[in-house]
């Protein structure tokens, strides 16, 4: 606290200009980050204290885990280090500072540790899947062959998961072909036309985003497969995915269309354009990056969803390209059915499929981010 | 000088307002009708699901009575079906997930909104979104293979040291020479950890968005009064973001209740009415559906649909409440989940 005050005093002119720039910001104004003065400054002493605390914590934790108590394992070591480290920081800080600063340092430590934990969790997930799946992914046949006639003991250079990749792409393709016109059309109706009926539609669509994906699958299973006697097929799976994705895409597009500035619409209408031309030439192009992001994120959600597919598509070990022609496999389903088989080589194939699925999602995600980028400047 | 007032020209006519037509043009009419019919289609499809699920409850209740909600066993052989145990299991898994996801989401959201270097912020936001986009089966694999050994060791430790609390009890000897690891695996605790990975990014994204909207004037007033960083967070950011914190957590809870595949991969199904998350065996509504739909007769299918309907109603209620809290609170402006 004292340090911050001194710091501010020594830089009064800078501080004053910065204050003038930011004078009376409207409550929702976003102040340009470049204009902000960096408020959190640490001295060299504080940094040394911090480093010292963590080194001491690691050493003490090793003593506790390896010499005093019968606790082994990295998780326990990390936990003990964390507890000891936080305690040490509290003690060291309280030597030369008051309570506000001690709690400030403690919270800062905990917050940074939590962020680190999340980073480790995400990295461990991605690295774990990619490393485990690497053995299967290096074989070309994994990408081009199917599993027909391949037994559990056959090595990884026989058979592959092309049928699951193709199945996933076909199913998601049909689902996208169904949901994009319906979802975006509904969103256009809700934002551009409005009225009481639109309110009802919006309420129902928002409610249906709460539908658990397995219930969507069970609905299609009961109506189409049990009720209408349709065979388990890629088409049924695509329908289940559509039912699940439709509210998600409609709602996300609705949110995107609502932020299109109203004066653009009014300008267009004032120039004599019809409502239809306004939507087609003004609203949709303005919202295009946002719509693309909404759709791609919906697709990423759909392609990785196992539960609706589990109930509706059946599993095929061979390549199926006709979605109406009986059972079909897909990547999540292939992973789910092989990973529990207990056969080590099957499990390796499941990891390869998981790695490919993860790569697909990553590609979709990165393209969504790249498409969304131009919006930054215009909004 | 005299002015001659000129009367209106003899042949001038009175100005008449031009006829203004508000009738839509042909293409507009097509546009309105077209989008309205699309919206009606979507309304019918989505509404049909809700109605269909609700109707499926009728034969179930007629056949099994209200005991359907209190019966714990699911034994199609003896025609005893009930969802009490799975309902409790669903909430146990979701509770464990939230127990871990909530503090981590809150702290991570604070880190991104308050502590992270400005230049790093967009990247971190993208990473959290990416985490939300990772398929649930991958988190299931991660929990099943990578997490399970460590988590069961932690479960043993909790049992040894906190076993006197009923919540941490496991039916096994904690101090056995060779610990019965199988009693500590495939539990609601481990399933909850995997679900937490899916819930955390959702909750974190909502919280972060709300924190970043904290009024700059109040923040800087607090700094100017000499508050520490934590002081500003405690007095400005957290009170402002309260709605977002609650709303984000509840949205995560809605997701946690409906999660299927990660749970199915990890748990071993059991139909006991117990609150022992560390012990092997539990079940959730979605795992029940995934496990039992195949051999179900039409009446059992109705019962599964009813279970799904119960799950849907719970999720819907929680999501609606979350949306209301986020929009009603001060922090609601523009927070889209």
Q: How far is B126 from chain A (nearest CA, A)?
A: 8
Are B27 and A274 inside 8 Å of each other by CB? yes
User: How many Cβ atoms from other residues are within 10 Å of residue A114's Cβ?
Assistant: 19
Output B325 or A88, whichever has higher pLDDT: A88
User: What pLDDT digit, counting tens, does each position of A212-254 carry?
Assistant: 889 999 999 988 888 888 888 889 999 999 999 999 899 889 9
3-state secondary structure B166-203: HHHCCCCCCCCCCCCHHHHCCEHHHHHHHHHHHHHHHH
Q: Which of A32-46, A327-341, B10-24 has the lowest mean pLDDT?
A: A32-46
Q: Give the mean model confidence (pLDDT) for residues B269-291.
A: 83
Q: Which of A102-106, A147-151, B67-71, B134-138 has the lowest mean pLDDT?
A: A147-151
Q: Which residues of B touch A350 (CB under 8 A)?
A: 141
Are B108 and A246 inside 8 Å of each other by CB? no
ipTM over 0.85: no
Nearest to B230 among A103, A190, A304 (CB): A103
Q: Are B309 and B56 in contact (CB under 8 A)?
A: yes
Determine which of A75, A136, A214 to mutate to test the interface with B (most B C-beta atoms within 10 Å): A214
For residue A1, what pLDDT band results from cuts at 50, 70 and 90? very low
pLDDT of residue B112: 93
B286: contact with A, CB 8 A cutoff: yes
User: What pLDDT digit, counting tens, does each position of A50-89 carry?
Assistant: 899 999 999 999 888 888 877 777 788 888 899 999 999 9
Q: Give the mean model confidence (pLDDT) for residues A277-292.
A: 89
Q: How far is A144 from chain B (nearest CA, A)?
A: 23
B231: contact with A, CB 8 A cutoff: yes
Most confident range (mean pLDDT) of B3-7, B11-15, B214-218 is: B214-218
> Does this model's pTM top 0.95?
no
Are B229 and A39 inside 8 Å of each other by CB? yes
Q: Which residues, other chains included, contact A280 with Cβ-Cβ below 8 Å and sequence gap of 6+?
A: none
């Amino acid at each position: 606290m004292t340090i911050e005050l001194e710091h501010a005093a020594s830089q009064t002119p800078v501080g004053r200009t910065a204050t003038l720039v930011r004078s009376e910001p409207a409550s929702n104004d976003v102040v340009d980050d470049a204009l902000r003065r960096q408020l959190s400054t640490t001295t060299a002493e504080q940094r040394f204290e911090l480093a010292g605390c963590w080194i001491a914590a690691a050493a003490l934790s090793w003593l506790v885990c390896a010499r005093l108590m019968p606790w082994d394992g990295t998780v326990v070591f990390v936990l003990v280090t964390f507890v000891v480290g936080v305690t040490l920081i509290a003690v060291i800080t309280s030597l030369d500072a008051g309570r506000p600063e001690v709690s400030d340092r403690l919270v800062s430590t905990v917050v940074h540790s939590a962020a680190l934990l999340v980073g480790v969790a995400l990295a461990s997930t991605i690295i774990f899947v990619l490393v485990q799946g690497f053995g299967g992914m290096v074989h070309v046949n994994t990408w081009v062959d199917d599993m027909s006639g391949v037994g559990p003991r056959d090595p990884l250079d026989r058979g592959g998961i092309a049928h699951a990749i193709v199945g996933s792409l076909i199913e998601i393709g049909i689902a996208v072909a169904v949901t994009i016109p319906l979802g975006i059309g509904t969103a256009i109706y809700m934002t551009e036309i409005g009225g009481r009926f639109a309110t009802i539609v919006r309420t129902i669509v928002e409610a249906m985003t709460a539908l658990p994906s397995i219930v969507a699958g069970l609905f299609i299973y009961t109506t189409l497969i049990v009720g209408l006697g349709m065979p388990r097929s890629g088409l049924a799976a695509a329908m289940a995915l559509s039912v699940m994705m439709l509210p998600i895409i409609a709602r996300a597009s609705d949110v995107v269309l609502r932020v299109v500035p109203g004066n653009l619409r009014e300008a267009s209408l004032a120039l004599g354009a019809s409502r239809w031309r306004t939507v087609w030439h003004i609203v949709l192009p303005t919202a295009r990056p946002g719509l693309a992001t909404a759709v791609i994120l919906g697709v990423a959600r759909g392609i990785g969803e196992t539960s609706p597919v589990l109930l509706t598509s059946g599993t095929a070990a061979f390549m199926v390209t006709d979605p109406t022609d009986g059972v079909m496999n897909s990547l999540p389903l292939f992973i789910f059915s092989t990973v529990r088989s207990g056969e080590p080589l099957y499990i390796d194939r499941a990891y390869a499929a998981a790695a490919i699925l993860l790569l697909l999602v990553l590609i979709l995600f990165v393209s969504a981010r790249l498409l969304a980028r131009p919006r930054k400047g215009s909004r | 000088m005299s002015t001659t007032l000129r009367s209106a020209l003899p042949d001038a006519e009175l100005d008449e307002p031009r006829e203004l037509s508000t009738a839509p043009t042909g293409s507009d009419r097509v546009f309105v009708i077209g989008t309205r019919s699309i919206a009606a289609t979507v309304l019918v499809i989505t509404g049909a699901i809700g109605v269909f699920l609700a109707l499926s409850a009728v034969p179930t209740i007629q056949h099994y009575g209200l005991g359907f909600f209190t019966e714990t066993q699911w034994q199609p052989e003896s025609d005893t079906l009930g969802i009490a145990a799975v309902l409790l299991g669903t909430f146990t898994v979701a509770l464990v997930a939230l127990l871990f996801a909530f503090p981590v989401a809150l702290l991570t959201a604070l880190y991104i909104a308050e502590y992270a270097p400005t230049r790093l912020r967009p990247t971190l936001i993208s990473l959290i979104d990416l985490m939300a986009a990772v398929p649930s089966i991958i988190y299931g694999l991660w929990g099943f293979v990578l997490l399970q050994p460590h988590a069961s060791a932690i479960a043993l430790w909790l049992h040894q040291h906190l076993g006197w609390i009923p919540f941490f009890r496991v039916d096994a000897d904690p101090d056995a020479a060779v610990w019965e690891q199988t009693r500590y695996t495939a539990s609601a605790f481990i399933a909850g950890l995997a679900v937490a990975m899916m819930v955390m990014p959702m909750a974190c994204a909502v919280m972060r968005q709300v924190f970043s909207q904290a009024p700059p004037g109040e923040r800087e007033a607090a700094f100017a009064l000499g508050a520490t960083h934590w002081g500003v967070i405690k007095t400005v950011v957290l009170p402002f973001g309260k709605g977002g914190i609650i709303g984000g957590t509840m949205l995560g809870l809605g997701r946690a209740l409906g999660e299927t595949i990660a749970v199915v991969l990890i748990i071993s199904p059991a139909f006991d009415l117990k609150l022992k998350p560390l012990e092997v065996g539990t079940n959730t509504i979605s795992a029940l559906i995934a496990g039992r739909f195949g051999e179900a007769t039409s009446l059992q299918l109705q019962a599964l649909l009813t279970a799904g309907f119960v799950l849907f109603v719970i999720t819907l209620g929680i999501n609606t409440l979350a949306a209301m809290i986020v929009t009603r609170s001060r922090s609601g402006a523009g927070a889209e989940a």
